[in-house]
Structure 1
Amino acid sequence: MSNVRTSRSEAWTGRLILVVMVAFTLLPFVSMLSAALQEAGSNPTGLSVPSPAHPENFATAFTMARVPTLMGSSALLVLMVVPAALALATAAAYGISVLRVPGGRLVFLVFLMGLTIPFEGLITPLYYLMRDAGLLNTRPAIALPLIALYMPFGVFWMRAHFSGVPKELNEAASIDGAGPWRALRHVHLPLAKPALSTLAVLYSLWTWNQFLVALVMMDDPLRRTVAGALGAFQGQYGTDIVLLSAGALLIMLPTIVVFAVFQKQFVAALLQGSVKG
């Protein structure tokens, strides 16, 4: 009887913690929505229900910040960065984990060290590198650094997947006459779909919202990423908090939709630890 009571109390405690965490997560969004519906040019404070509400602020912010143009620029950068970053990270992780190339462990340690270095610490040498290569103010000047900066996490992510694949599958592929690349194509990549799809979504979101690299490498504001749209609400004498909140919600909307659509893939990739035959 005591065990039943304990399990019930633990269940209710877990639910209470979950509710509190959800409330803390949603509170900033509710606050931004409240501010976005206030009268443009006003100074909203705290949570309040606007009366009357001003949903037209979203249309104003959408037009004022040139959101469609910047979304197109972000989408183009995603197409340039994500396929290349996925291919390179997968190939490197496959070589380190499955093919066990000479020096693979050392290379992996170097990638792990890369996870500890923030983007901000590399932006200055990357700027001079792109300048010397004659690529400044071009989209490759944004795409190439992002591909390199994403490599440590991508290799770490894909190596974790390849390390969980039973060695018997590799041996069976070798017996059937499959070489390393054929085994990668017909055995490992089909099994890696959850990990690859999750990594692709993460890369897409990071590129879509990337601001610092785009700001440093590109002078034209309309050729940066959609995160740069928030600068449109910074005036000479202050910031329009209402339109800034509306614009921020518009920019975050694609991210929220992507997470909602691909949540099953995220869970599958995170829980994937073995292959069941």
Structure 2
Amino acid sequence: MIVGRREALVGRALLVALMAVTIVPFVSLFVTALHPSGTYPPGVQWPADPQWSNFGDAFRAANMGRLLESTGLIVLGVVPASLLFGTMAGFGLGQIRMRGSRVVFLLFLLGLTLPFEGIIIPLYYTIRDMGLLNTRWAIILPLIGLFMPFSIVWMRAHFITMPAELTEAAKVDGANVWQLFWRIHVPLAMPALSSLAILLFLWTWNQFLLAIVLVDDPLKRTMAGALGAFQGQWGTDIPLLCAGSLLILTPTLLVFFVFQRQFVSALLAGAVKS
């Protein structure tokens, strides 16, 4: 398919416009964060005397060392468990295809339509009855369950495209289901697993709603959830608030930039297979 010059120019113009819409808010945050603390800068205007110390002040004011530790613990509790359960269930639905697997898959698809906001009230009372309110488990356990539908659908989409001859050959060689899963299919699923891990990391790191509803102590929340408490304390200091927001965003941006090749390759592989 040959793309005309006009279509190419229109496509590039749209990409530039979308890039500008995406980048301008970050530029505005960055420039505002460099203004003197306590001021309210009008528009995107580079300050005459950039206050780089605002980032250090925001780091100390928000106690981000503790927040990094708390968010890291939550990520370590959510991502590996979600990957393990999602991969095992995706393998079962995509390769073993037991009786009733189609109905189970449809139920997980239905779970993708379930919004966090729609279950937050019953989830609050459930966590309270379990005695887990104001603990990191109040974030970890619900996130594992809420991420399951997407994780299973994502991994099933990979396993269902694997050739049946590969499984049959392994069975002829004497491999049982467990060996077939760990030694044959999991190594081949590393692109899908890595991209899923990136998504789960970003979603867990940026989790806001569950953190502020189920955990009162800001130091036990995710960094995004702790931003609410930071905003309440420093809401009138716009430069400090912007500096804190950028510090919270930085880890997710770094993870995406470092692993963007794996993420894009997994998406393209899934598109080609489908």
| 1:148 to 2:128 alignment | no
SS at match of 1:47: coil
1:90 corresponds to which of 87, 98, 112: 87
**Amino acid paired to 1:242:** P
Q: Is the 8 A contact 2:90 2:153 kept in 1?
A: yes
SS at match of 1:126: helix
**Amino acid paired to 1:227:** A
Q: Which residue of 2 aligns with 1:218?
A: 215
Q: Is the 8 A contact 2:33 2:243 kept in 1?
A: yes
Stretch deviating more after TM superposition (225-234 or 38-47): 225-234
**Amino acid paired to 2:158:** H
| 1:117 to 2:99 alignment | no
Residues in 2 aligned to 1:234 and 1:221: alpha-carbon distance in whole angstroms: 12
1:234 corresponds to which of 232, 235, 241: 232
Deviation sequence 1:145-165 (CA, Å, 0-9, x none): 010000011011111111121
Q: Is the 8 A contact 2:29 2:243 kept in 1?
A: yes
After TM superposition, give the deviation of residue 100 of structure 1 in Å.
0.7
Give me the identity figure in percent. Answer: 54
Q: Is the 8 A contact 1:233 1:243 kept in 2?
A: no
2:66 corresponds to which of 69, 78, 89: 69
**Amino acid paired to 1:111:** F
Q: Which residue of 1 aligns with 2:266?
A: 269
Residues in 1 aligned to 2:252 and 2:23: alpha-carbon distance in whole angstroms: 15
Stretch deviating more after TM superposition (130-139 or 112-121): 130-139
The two structures have a TM-score, normalised by structure 1, of: 0.92
After TM superposition, give the deviation of residue 130 of structure 1 in Å.
1.4
Q: Which residue of 1 aligns with 2:102?
A: 105
2:77 corresponds to which of 71, 77, 80: 80
After TM superposition, give the deviation of residue 10 of structure 1 in Å.
3.0
Q: Is the 8 A contact 2:207 2:222 kept in 1?
A: yes
Residues in 2 aligned to 1:233 and 1:242: alpha-carbon distance in whole angstroms: 12
| 1:247 to 2:244 alignment | yes
| 1:205 to 2:202 alignment | yes
**Amino acid paired to 2:155:** M
Aligned residues: 271
Residues in 2 aligned to 1:187 and 1:9: alpha-carbon distance in whole angstroms: 48
Residues in 1 aligned to 2:18 and 2:216: alpha-carbon distance in whole angstroms: 40
After TM superposition, give the deviation of residue 72 of structure 1 in Å.
0.6
Aligned pairs for 1:128-207 within 5 A:
128-207=125-204
After TM superposition, give the deviation of residue 137 of structure 1 in Å.
2.2
Q: Is the 8 A contact 1:67 1:229 kept in 2?
A: no
Residues in 1 aligned to 2:202 and 2:267: alpha-carbon distance in whole angstroms: 18
After TM superposition, give the deviation of residue 133 of structure 1 in Å.
1.7
Q: Is the 8 A contact 1:65 1:233 kept in 2?
A: no
RMSD value, Cα:
1.8
Deviation sequence 1:106-149 (CA, Å, 0-9, x none): 11111111111111111111111112222222222211101000
Structure 1: segments with no counterpart, 5+ residues: none
After TM superposition, give the deviation of residue 244 of structure 1 in Å.
1.0
SS at match of 1:117: coil
1:12 corresponds to which of 9, 13, 32: 9
Residues in 2 aligned to 1:154 and 1:269: alpha-carbon distance in whole angstroms: 14
Stretch deviating more after TM superposition (260-269 or 215-224): 215-224
Residues in 2 aligned to 1:163 and 1:271: alpha-carbon distance in whole angstroms: 16
Residues in 1 aligned to 2:80 and 2:225: alpha-carbon distance in whole angstroms: 23
After TM superposition, give the deviation of residue 8 of structure 1 in Å.
3.2
Q: 1:105 to 1:186 in 2, by over 3 A?
A: same
Residues in 1 aligned to 2:174 and 2:184: alpha-carbon distance in whole angstroms: 13
**Amino acid paired to 2:24:** L
| 1:59 to 2:63 alignment | no
Q: Is the 8 A contact 1:58 1:243 kept in 2?
A: yes
| 1:24 to 2:21 alignment | yes
**Amino acid paired to 1:225:** T
After TM superposition, give the deviation of residue 94 of structure 1 in Å.
0.9
**Amino acid paired to 1:234:** G
**Amino acid paired to 1:68:** G
**Amino acid paired to 1:182:** Q
After TM superposition, give the deviation of residue 96 of structure 1 in Å.
1.0
Residues in 2 aligned to 1:102 and 1:130: alpha-carbon distance in whole angstroms: 34
